[in-house]
Amino acid sequence: MSKKNEGLSTAVGLLGVAAAVGGLVWLFSDPPESSARQRLKQRMLAALHKAAAAIGVKAPTLTQCNRRGTNAWSDGYRIGWNPVFFEEVLARHCTDDACQESVLVGIMGHELAHHVKRHAVRTDLHPHVQELDADGLAGHILATVGVQPHHFENVIAEISQRPTASHPGAFQRVAAIRRGWQRARGWFA
């Protein structure tokens, strides 16, 4: 084999090894996000910023969490979201942009309420009180940005069918959202 062909063969071999190693690296890291997932992420950020502007606060960092069973959370420093949960909820409940906006702003408003009220570090309030407080502020945020609450209420009713140690049942939660929305609209004090 000539020196030229030997060099080419070595280069092709090295490219093959690099491609194989690159493939192995991809197997052990997060796969690239789909364009649909990237659009959802942008919509989540927009919903968070809209909710924050509605109550005059700076939006915290939005962190993605892909753990099954997690939907959204606030630890007092950032707000987390699970894209799989949101994709499933939007697919089940929403066929139009108005529905998606209600659900996204509602959930981000709820988590933002936990954030600004520092629920993660408060031990003087029962978890049910914290949840109802966050639901009420989410309803207020929806009214402030001019979004109807019923799509968000439907999602909350589905995921809160039975009370748990940390979350009250659907009836209480939907009532809290509705009260927050009505108060923001000036329907009662």
pLDDT at 108 over 60: yes
- Residue 165 Cα to chain centre, angstroms: 22
Tokens in use for 158? 């589905």
Beta bridge partners of 80: 63, 73
Write b or e for each residue in 162-176: b if 16 or more Cβ atoms lie within 10 A of its Cβ, otherwise e: eeeeebbebebbbbb
- Specify the pLDDT at position 12: 42
Name the more confident of 123 and 100: 100
Average pLDDT over residues 123-130: 94
Assessment of whether the complete model's pTM goes beyond 0.85: no
- Specify the pLDDT at position 27: 40
Average pLDDT over residues 91-105: 95
Q: What is the DSSP letter of 61?
A: E
Helices marked H in the chain — which ranges? Answer: 3-27, 35-55, 83-93, 97-116, 127-144, 150-159, 170-184
- Residue 167 Cα to chain centre, angstroms: 18
